Each structure stands twice: as structure tokens, then as C-alpha cells.
Amino acid sequence: MKVWHSLLNFSTLMMKLNNKWLNGAIPALLIHCSIGTVYCWSLLKDAIAAQLGSSVASIEWAFSLAIFFLGMSAAFGGNLVEKNVKRSAFLSTICFTLGMIG
């Protein structure tokens, strides 16, 4: 519970900042870190297949699915992001972090 409280305090702090560089740079960095991990697939697919005990060909669908949803979320979610950039960046960072942990 303490983690969520500290994350919400961080979000509140980010919303209070009026520095245009911090308002633009930090969310951009967080979003690009989460988007860029998809493109590490070519480096990690052999290790992932070995860990799962299957062939690379049998896990290729995961990359295809990730790229599909990346494109669909950009196409249909773009207008939602533009309404509140800070909150969208924070929410996407939380979702990405939970996905990487799980």
C-alpha cells in the first residue's frame, strides 16, 4: 500500500511542476522506455525460448501481438492521450511496470 501512496504522491508532484522541460521530457522518456522494449525482441527471443523450453518459431506470435496492439493503441488511443498527457504517461508507466513484473 505504501508503494501506491508514494506513486500517487509522485504523480501529484509531476502535475504541480510548471517547468516545460520537465513536463515534456520526463513523460517522453518514460513512454519511449516502455515502447522501446518491444524492439528488444530480436535480442531476447532465443533466451526466452530456451527458458520456456520451446522453439523460437513457437513464440513469435508474442512479438506479432505486441506490435499489433502497439499500433492499435497509437491509432485509437492517440486522442485520449492528448487530453491529459501527464496522466496518460503516468498510467502507461504503471501498466508497463506491472506487465514487466508479472
Structural domain including 92 reads 2-101
The residue ranking higher by pLDDT, 15 or 86, is: 86
* pLDDT one-digit tens code per residue, 35-70: 777 778 888 899 989 999 999 999 989 888 888 887
The residue ranking higher by pLDDT, 14 or 45, is: 45
The confidence score (pLDDT) of residue 52 equals 92
pTM of the model: 0.53
Percentage of residues in the chain with pLDDT exceeding 70?
75
Under 8 Å between Cβ of 55 and 49:
yes
The residue ranking higher by pLDDT, 57 or 3, is: 57
Q: Is 27 exposed, middle or buried (0-12, 13-18, 19+ CB in 10 A)?
A: buried
Q: 31 CB contacts (<8 Å, ≥6 apart)?
A: 89, 92, 93
Query: How many angstroms separate the CA atoms of 69 and 100, rounded?
Result: 16
Query: How many angstroms separate the CA atoms of 84 and 66, rounded?
Result: 24
Number of domains forming the structure of the chain: 1
